[in-house]
Amino acid sequence: MIGKKRSYLIVLVFLTIAVGLYLNKHLGGEQKLVEIHTREVTPRGNLADFEQTTISIFNAAAPSVVYIFTENAVSGVFGARGLRQGTGSGFLWDRQGHIVTNFHVIEGAQRIQVRLDNGEAVEATYVGGTPDYDLAVIRLRQNISGIQPIPVGKSEELQVGQSVLAIGNPFGLSRTLTTGVISALDRRLPTATGREVVGVIQTDAAINPGNSGGPLIDSSGRLIGINTAIISGSGSSAGIGFAVPVDVVNQVVPQLIAEGKFPRPGIGIMVLDEEIAARLGVVGVVIDRVVPGSSAERAGLEGIDHSNRLLGDIIVGVEGNPIGKMDDFIKNLR
């Protein structure tokens, strides 16, 4: 009996080995065949016209975009001091090496370094800035040949729905391109000083941390704005980004290069949202609040009495020119 069991066991072992060899020969061979057999590549056709246009715009504009690195001294516990590093974007303004970016990108920086399109890192120095417009100018400390300033467009030609491209360095990823459209025009953007930039461009082109200071470009490859802020609960793009309009840039930047500063805009007022004023049937600039110590306060202007729900002063004209909205008012102050 024991002998029979042993014989069955031996036969079972041999059958197992035989099955294993069979599977290895046939299935293993097929596996090897899969590993060495690659699919034939299907030739692609021509790129679509819109793809070719986007590629051309990027290739033309990207050399003008730079990556900005900053170092700020910070105080720690027990008086210890250290360095906080920051990053942002900017673009070449002229052949003298001036670079435009956001004020908040380089604010308080003790060291500024710029990485150019060719990968070269160059030290830069602060020229001037204005937190009222969140704009700043820095300059390369050495002469660089072949600088390619970005072409400049015009704000009044912009239309909701037209295509735009944003180039920058979000999350440290250099030379990143995102595309979208102009979602709205004539937005107002509060700055750190409590002032507002008028005529701001709203776009759905993805703008993330690190894009600040980078250019917003139209389909002709021209600068139409500087990517500045986003509305997002997470801090990442939610499809609502804002850019300081190029007309403001073209007015402020030459003054920063020449004088290092720009005269503070306005007369010291915060105004009611234009959509709310329109719903109230009011034509003109409704003063919501007057900044203490401002020229508006010295002139006796008053804002809204919120406790009694009473409107204050409304600006309807400046030196004979009718004022319908804040943009009209700002233009007449220039």
List the end-to-end C-alpha distance of the chain, in Å, as a whole number. 113
Eight-state DSSP code of residue 152: B
The identity of residue 231, as a single letter, is I
- Gap between the Cα atoms of 26 and 16, Å rounded: 16
List the one residue out of 166, 70, 133, 139 whose CA is nearest residue 261: 133
Distance CA(201)–CA(188), nearest Å, equals 9
Residue 68 — φ and ψ, nearest 5°?
Answer: -110, 130
Which residue is it, tokens 């995102």? 178
What's the sign of the alpha-carbon dihedral 251, 69, 164, 98? positive
SS3 sequence of 116-142: CCCCCEEEEEEEEEECCCCEEEEEECC
Q: What are phi and psi of 234, to 5 degrees?
A: -95, -10
User: From the CA atom positions of the chain, what is the Rg in Å?
Assistant: 31
Distance CA 54, CA 247 (A): 24
Q: Are strands 241-245 and 223-230 parallel, antiparallel or unpaired?
A: antiparallel
Nearest to 134 by CA among 192, 200, 194: 192
Catalytic residues: 104, 134, 212
- 323 touches 329 (CB < 8 A): yes
Give me the phi and psi of 66, to 5 degrees please.
-125, 160
